Amino acid sequence: KLKPEDFTVRAGAGTDRVRVRVIEIMEGKVGTKNVAVDLPLGPGGTILASREHDVAKVAVIERHHATGTMGIGFVKGFGFTAGAVASTVAHDSHNLLIVGMNDKDMAYAGEVLAQCGGGMVAVRDGAVLALVELPIAGLQSDRPVEEVSRQVEKLARAWKDLGCHLVSPFMTMALLSLPVLPELRLTNRGLVDTLGFKFVDLVVRA
């Protein structure tokens, strides 16, 4: 069972901000930028998402072999102001991918998909705004296309309610975990600098 504390990342005490490697999306493009952003710290040195900088937290959780491996990072450009979204359509490994502005909603979104066998969901303040269930491997629906179409339209509206107005936001999110595209991606094993072919730390050290 996912818990909010599973999404906690600490940078240490003694300061109120920390420089973090962030995946910056580019609307309408598959590439991302590897940028550094100074993010605020909460109690105990926890790194927080930032509405000011349009930066949300992102997590990739392995879902096929119950290994428990989980990568956590930050992503810039979705426009989210609240809540969280989650999807098991996450190229190419199709693990559980969650993007959100707070740990409670991220954990809840992940649990909703775990209970229904996969799909796509948007949540806010512990409530489901929209859900597309994909019980066949977490990738396909067994419902009539007209029903699924209505669910997807509702999900798109929910994303907008959470602040995201991107073109093709579902695909943009689904590519965050594809570590063959430039420049920075997140897998269940951590952040990948795909230009340097290496894993990199979340926090930028001086």
Tell the burial category of 185 from Cβ atoms under 10 Å away from its Cβ (0-12, 13-18, 19+). Answer: buried
In a domain, 81, yes or no: yes
In a domain, 206, yes or no: no
3-state DSSP helix/strand/coil percent for the chain, to nearest 5?
Answer: 20, 35, 45
Q: 156 phi and psi, to 5 degrees? A: -60, -40
Closest CA to 106 of 44, 152, 142, 56: 56
In a domain, 171, yes or no: yes
* pTM, 2 dp: 0.97
What is the predicted pLDDT for the residue at 151?
Answer: 99
The tokens describing 17, both together, are 């901000």
Q: Tokens 């003694």 sit at which residue?
A: 14
Closest CA to 151 of 134, 166, 173: 134
User: Residue 72: CA atoms inside 13 Å, Cβ hemisphere, count?
Assistant: 21
In a domain, 65, yes or no: yes
In a domain, 50, yes or no: yes
Q: Is the dihedral of CA 90, 92, 94, 95 positive or negative?
A: negative
Q: Tokens 């930050």 sit at which residue?
A: 74
For 32, the domain range is 4-200
In a domain, 205, yes or no: no
What is the predicted pLDDT for the residue at 53?
Answer: 98
How, if at all, do strands 32-40 and 17-25 pair? Answer: antiparallel
Closest CA to 102 of 118, 126, 128, 120: 126
In a domain, 141, yes or no: yes
CB 131 within 8 A of CB 119: yes
**Whole-angstrom distance, CA of residue 21 vs CA of residue 198:** 14
What is the predicted pLDDT for the residue at 63?
Answer: 98
Task: Note the Cα 95 to chain centre separation in Å.
Answer: 11
Mind listing the pLDDT tens digit of every residue in the chain (206 residues)? 999 999 999 997 778 999 999 999 999 999 999 999 999 999 999 999 999 999 999 999 999 999 999 999 999 999 999 999 999 999 999 999 999 999 999 999 999 999 999 999 999 999 999 999 999 999 999 999 999 999 999 999 999 999 999 999 999 999 999 999 999 999 999 999 999 999 999 999 87
**Whole-angstrom distance, CA of residue 44 vs CA of residue 49:** 15
In a domain, 35, yes or no: yes
Domain count, the chain: 1
What is the predicted pLDDT for the residue at 206?
Answer: 72
What is the predicted pLDDT for the residue at 14?
Answer: 72
